[in-house]
Chain A
Amino acid sequence: MSASDSHLALFPHGLSAGSKLLIYLLLSIAIIAADTEFHALNRFRSAMNVLLYPMQTFIQTPWLTYNRVTSFFVKQAQLQRENSALRQSFIQYSAAMQRYRNLELENQRLRILLGMQQRTRLSTRLAEILFVPHDPYQRLITVNRGSRQGIQAGAAVIDEAGLLGQITQVSPFSSEVTLLTSKDQSVPVLLQRTGLRTVIFGTGISGQLEIRYLPHSADIRIGDLLVTSGLDGVYPAGLAVAKVVQIDPGGSDAFANILCKPLAAVERNRQVLIVTGTPSAVTGKH
């Protein structure tokens, strides 16, 4: 900026702060528009993500080592307690599992009889949450599996309770998950109790989803479970999504205001499951 012969220069101090600010303002507006409206910078971002990945893993190591060390020094009594609890739930689950296998076989036979398409099993891949954006209101997270691990954009992301979101951008070693609750996310669902099909929308508020276009006469109650209907071909059918928590008749509106609470939660744990591959790809592999 400051030339050696500053007396001869036309702008001895360089540009004024105001004009500099103006230049950077315009530049950032251009970048924001290119990124959010035209998605022109996705290549650049995924390239930068590859560069940033070692830093992210480096900064995570102290936390992970701390976790490993503390989990190594657990009390014997606690282990025993946990073990017996796990054993009990294992017995319960294995009983349920036998029933489930039976039902699945029966379902397959019935589907063949009816001439319907076969359902395919889900194959999932465990991923860990790398970080959430600096602004907590942005409803997206980054996980540590990317295109190198065979993750594709559009894959559903679940946790142990239900559907969490969808992969929206993939880099070689990491990928971005847009949560269900983000503002422009919508999922086709069906009411488990009645089989009523509808679409659930994110509101941009943590822990809140809404059903918009359901007439007042629809048979829906508080506590009803909503599962994915699989109609869009993006989310596999039958994943738990949300529970109805509030039904507001909405007075003059043509439709009822129905608020739901998603079952999955990012806050609970750092591991998520990515549903890999479309059904056809799954059968092709194994």
Chain B
Amino acid sequence: MANKKLTWLLLGALLLSLCAGCSGSLKKEDTPTTITVWHVYGGQTDSPLNDLIAQFNQTVGKERGINVQVTSVSNTNTIHEAVLASANGEPGSSELPDLFISYPKTVLALPDDSILVDYRDYFSEEELSAFIPSFVEEGEVDGRLVVLPVAKSTEILYVNQTAFDRFSEATGVTMDALKTWEGLFEAAEIYSEWTDAQTPDVPGDGKSMFVHDYYFNYFQVGVESLGESFFDGNRLAFGPAFEQAWNLLAQASLNGGVWLRGGYATESLRTGNSIVSVASSASILYYSDTVTYSDNTSEEAIINSYPCPVFADGEKLVMQRGAGFCTVKSTPERERAAVTFLKWLTEPERNVDFVIRAGYMPVTQAAFDNYLPQAIEALDSPKYASLYQAFLETQADYEFYVPPQVETYLELETCLEDQVRAQLAQGRREYLDAAEPGSELLERISQERYSTFRQILGE
């Protein structure tokens, strides 16, 4: 009997040691779970998010065996194309990363949005209730929360104050003119004439005062602020308010007051080809304090921020921007790692630390209430202090406009951006080449270009 007991005891010990061996073989802490990220925060500049990711990897990442690797920092459109190519399995496309930045429009364009994690599977209701509700709603597609907000931006008016003050002194145009679109475009025409007059021997070399990063947003928010609907289903409505916005822009453009080349608004400010722009608050990273002219001389410039202009007879409406993070479904381990990072990034204090360096607003109420005011006070860069002052004024005086989820959104946006620039640039050339320029000709060219523009957009 005693022998039997001994046998069973030994067998039990053996089984236990085998089990211990099995569990011991998974040394998770030795091989971190590496997750890849495509994001947009910083573009080609020093990325504040990359710094935070490095911080995460060295602290929480090391503790929990997670290593976040940034494999692309670009813009939402590039990511949109890459994500769609990858999701559609197009030849030559990259493998989708674990995390990528996207607007809901990218998710809507996906052939199958079930490849994305529903954050409700990983965030408790309590955790989600910490976020600003409208930000969370924006990330919902077909009842699933697939885009998690981490930072929100709006549109801001940036002014090269050094250059504008010179212009103001010479012409009497004040900063008040930049509060409305009407005033801004009128000032742009004056600026073009003024700069042209500085080189009397070279006619028609006036410079543009103004550049808009997204003319699509100018029209969208402008039309909506004038009480009209911008979209008509999946197309543009083209109501009278749209025409009103077009006429203002066209007149200033044909007179040379608006920069119509492609690229971001920062380019023309950096090269001294324009001095006022409307762009995302996140563009602050790309505005340089130095303007470099074509003769390789450079000038230190003060870049100030102001709330976005509005139509004189329109509501104070401004675009709410800012994409969010999508997590691609993979293994529970990788998904958990990705969500761990996102939770870490959206903790109120850290979220403020991140957004304040990137020109964004935080996404949780606690961050707004408890950390943002102190962070703004502590800003030592006048450029950033000015931006957040404009942010606060915008928040106090404006209503935020959130674009609707329209399937053709990106298509319409891309087409409108190209065509506004192309048609107005052609109009500008026609006007410059005309033997007898004047308001009548200007109006005719404007209408012709609008008609072509509508035809192309209508198709």
Q: Is B truly associated with A?
A: no
